[in-house]
Amino acid sequence: QVQLVESGGGLVQPGGSLRLSCAASRRIFSTNTLGWYRQAPGKQRELVATFTSGQSTNYADSVKGRFTISRDNAKNTVYLQMNSLKPEDTAVYYCKLEYWGVIYWGQGTQVTVSS
């Protein structure tokens, strides 16, 4: 069993920045797929950014050039740096970990972009 705890969400004005963190309760490895998803009200959960195998990354087209995913395996943590935030980025952001074939989700953290 792995627990994922997200933090860093909040209210920010358009054009602002936030950094989300997701800490895993167990050691994670470069081979474990790890990433961020989001779900806006009335919409399906969608991929934001992930690490695939090794250090390869994948981003949604809507966040390319604005968001950056990074990880610190020594701290069992993945981060999402979000810059130039837009109102359409408003959503609950979830951390997802594939750990030796089992999928785990965090509880989510709310990000609201509004003036």
What is the predicted pLDDT for the residue at 73? 85
Q: 63-89, pLDDT tens digit by residue?
A: 999 999 999 988 999 999 999 999 999
Q: Which residues, given as ranges, of the chain have pLDDT below 70? A: 54
Pairing of strands 46-51, 91-99: unpaired
Q: What is the pLDDT of residue 54?
A: 67
In this prediction, residue 77 carries a pLDDT of 93
Contact 83, 59 (CB under 8 A): no
